Chain A
Amino acid sequence: MDKKFFRKRTLALVGVFVLLMAINVASAGFVGFNPIKVIGDIPHGIVWMAQNFTPSLESFAKIDTILISLGKTILLSIASSCIAAIFAYMCAVIGSREAGLGGPFPLIIRGIASVFRNIPVVAWAFILMFSFKQSEFTGFLALFLGTFGYLTRCFLESIDEVAGGSVEALRATGAGFAPIVTQAIIPMSITAVISWTLYMIETNIRDATLIGILTGAGIGALFDVYYKSFRYDLAALVILCIVVAVIACEAISNYVRRQII
């Protein structure tokens, strides 16, 4: 037994911790961030929030406006996620290394996915506003493009992970590309696809709020209006509704996931 080995391990662990702390202190000093003062401010912030940022009884008079707006936003998120998922899946099947058409396709599809994925949804919203003005369609398109990039990447990984073996087997029987897609790739990857799509719907409902502030549509715009007119009680109600909606969505998608596996 080598005693030095274990001491080395411990020292390495301590070293990494010290290094992280040092980086933290150095960067906080650089931007003038005072952690102690921030911690002291937290109770004050909570008190302010409790006083102003809670839904009042009268704010519930506006609940129907909020719910209609929230419903629109949720439906928009679902629509953009599902349509993006369809396009992403087609691209992923063509571009998969294990199962796809081969040739230049894997590289091209990966490149396209990477571009769409690495531009933030907010940036998409800003870019698209030039062409499509402040409208729901701008929000839809921004979510669509971001989701498309992200899902293409996820689907590529999923297909490569699960379908490789069965694709090879069917190729060896003399089957063509289209039958291989429907008989092997789709059945093998469908659970992962549904799971990822549900995850993107959840994420998009959250993101749609932010996009809505920019594009002046849906629940985000409503929040923006209330917030800027100092109706914090209404703004808080909006946030409460969004939180409930997202949690409900998550619960539903978890249930669906359990059923399909």
Chain B
Amino acid sequence: MDASSLLHIEGLGKDYSSKSKALTDVSLSLARGQFVSVIGSSGAGKSTLLRCINRLIDPNAGSVVFDGKDVVAMGKRELRQARRRISMIFQHYNLVYRSTSIENVLQGRLGYKSTIAGVLGLYSEEEKERAFSILEQLGLAEFAYTRTDQLSGGQKQRVGIARALLQDPLLILADEPIASLDPKASQMIMEHLRWAVDTLGVTCLVNLHQVDYAIEFSDRIIALKKGHLVFDGTPNELDARAISDIYATPYVEEKVLQEPISETQEEKVLAAVGVA
């Protein structure tokens, strides 16, 4: 484990019942300022892996050393302190939909607050200014006072990112951040995450279903299959054969998907949806 390592996972295991294992002996190390994607089919353990890192799920075995401290061994208070520097972004955004964008963003600071200030929602002027400037950076300035249930999917996810950034994270865990979004919004969200890595030096660990996005945006790709780590390498190393192995699909099928089959307008739309 070198000095630049932010997160070091060793022998991580989780089983929900005695029979099925969600994660088996997963070990990996993340450097600071890296964009890492996790791919694999549904039920491969991607979400479990992410949630074991901030202990929304308690692992059964192994250690998760974040910024020099083992998260698994932490007590409640310590864990809350560690969580402040680990942001999370969700597939279904998980915002407080009856509150405005700015309120949702400010809630990223709750981990830093005393109980009283947290309960009453008292934020400092500096925190409010930062929240507004982050919203502005993400192009949401005009929606600051809009209730989040009135935003589009892409806008909701940007509020989610703003909330995550206001935490001053060292690590962002993104659990399928674009799985519910259209291609254009997906592109935008991935660009924002990439921007956070490049300019703020945050490390990003992103669960993805879309391999093409993983290849386009990641520095490194990890693949899980039935709870085992089966691939760990650069996007260049992830060739068609590796992908077919990860998803247990025949090699030929991949090729068919990539061929443009569109002739009429309708078919074009269908093809776009299929590829995306």
Chain A residues in the interface with B (C-beta under 8 A)? 165-166, 168-176, 178-184, 187-188, 190-191
Count of B residues near A, CB < 8 Å? 36
The 9 closest A-B pairs by CB, nearest first: A174-B111, A179-B118, A175-B110, A174-B83, A165-B94, A169-B94, A172-B88, A174-B84, A174-B80
Complex Cα distance, B98 from A182, in Å, reads 13
B98 — which chain A residues lie within 8 A by C-beta? 187-188, 190-191
B171 → chain A, closest Cβ, in Å?
11
Q: Is B60 an interface residue (CB 8 A)?
A: no
Q: Is the CB of B115 within 8 A of A169?
A: no
Binary contact track B54-84/A, C-beta < 8 Å → 1, others 0: 1010000000000000000000000111111
**Closest Cβ–Cβ distance, residue B16 to chain A (whole Å):** 16
A187 / chain B contacts, CB cutoff of 8 Å: 96, 98-99
**Chain B residues with CB under 8 A of A171:** 56, 83
**Would you give the 0/1 interface string for B162-182, flagging 1 where the beta carbon is closer than 8 Å to chain A?**
010001000001000000000
Contacts of A172 in B (CB 8 A): 54, 56, 83, 86-88, 173
Closest to A169 in B: B94
Residues of chain A with a CB closer than 8 A to B56's CB = 168, 171-172
- What's the least CB distance linking A141 to chain B, in Å? 32
Q: Is B241 an interface residue (CB 8 A)?
A: no
Apart from A178-B119, A179-B113, 9 more pairs, CB < 8 Å: A165-B93, A166-B95, A169-B163, A170-B110, A173-B83, A174-B83, A176-B80, A178-B118, A179-B118
Q: Is B251 positioned at the interface, with any CB of A under 8 Å from its CB? A: no
Provide the bound-state CA to CA distance between A176 and B109, in Å.
12
Q: Is B121 an interface residue (CB 8 A)?
A: yes
Q: Is the interface of A mostly helix, strand, loop or mixed?
A: helix
**Do A175 and B118 touch (CB < 8 A)?**
yes
Q: List 20 A-B contacts (CB under 8 A).
A: A165-B90, A165-B92, A165-B94, A166-B95, A166-B97, A169-B160, A172-B56, A172-B86, A172-B87, A172-B173, A173-B111, A174-B79, A174-B110, A175-B107, A176-B118, A179-B115, A182-B118, A183-B110, A183-B118, A183-B119
Identify the closest chain B residue to A163 (Cβ). Answer: B96
The reply to whether A169 and B121 form a contact with Cβ atoms under 8 Å apart is no
Closest Cβ neighbor of B50 among chain A residues = A172
In the complex, the answer to whether B95 meets A169 with C-beta atoms within 8 Å is: yes
B107's partner among A181, A183, A190 (CB-CB below 8 A) is A183
The chain A residue with its CB closest to the CB of B76 is A176
Query: Is A173 within 8 A of B118, CB to CB?
Result: no
B45 within 8 A of A: no
What's the minimum C-beta distance from B81 to chain A, rounded to whole angstroms?
Answer: 7
- Point out the residues of chain B lying under 8 angstroms from A175, CB to CB: 80, 107, 110-111, 113, 118
Q: Does B120 contact A (CB under 8 A)?
A: yes
Given contacts A166-B95, A184-B96, A187-B99, contact A173 B108 (CB under 8 A): yes
A187→B99 CA distance, assembly (Å) = 7
